[in-house]
Amino acid sequence: MQATQEEMAAANVDMVWRDFCAHVLIKLNDCRRKSLYVPWKCEHERHEYEKCQYKDYKKRVAAAKEASA
């Protein structure tokens, strides 16, 4: 699932973080704001965001290997 430009603008997502995992980041930031940034409150959302980032990284590495081969 991809987040639209309007969703990212409404969620105040910085341009730097507008990537493949922005839709998960929106949920994570919303949870963080609601829980006043308490570290143990949004563990599930943080895990999902980090997993999304890892999958995106692995996909980019595979594409780079394929392009160089």
What DSSP line would sit under 1-69, residue for residue?
----HHHHHHTT--GGG-STTHHHHHHHHHHHHHTTT-TTTSHHHHHHHHHHHHHHHHHHHHHHHHHH-
| Residue 10 CB neighbours (<10 A) | 11
Counting as low any pLDDT under 70, the low residues of the chain are none
At residue 67, the pLDDT reads 93
Measured in degrees and rounded to the nearest 5, phi and psi for residue 39 equal -60, -30
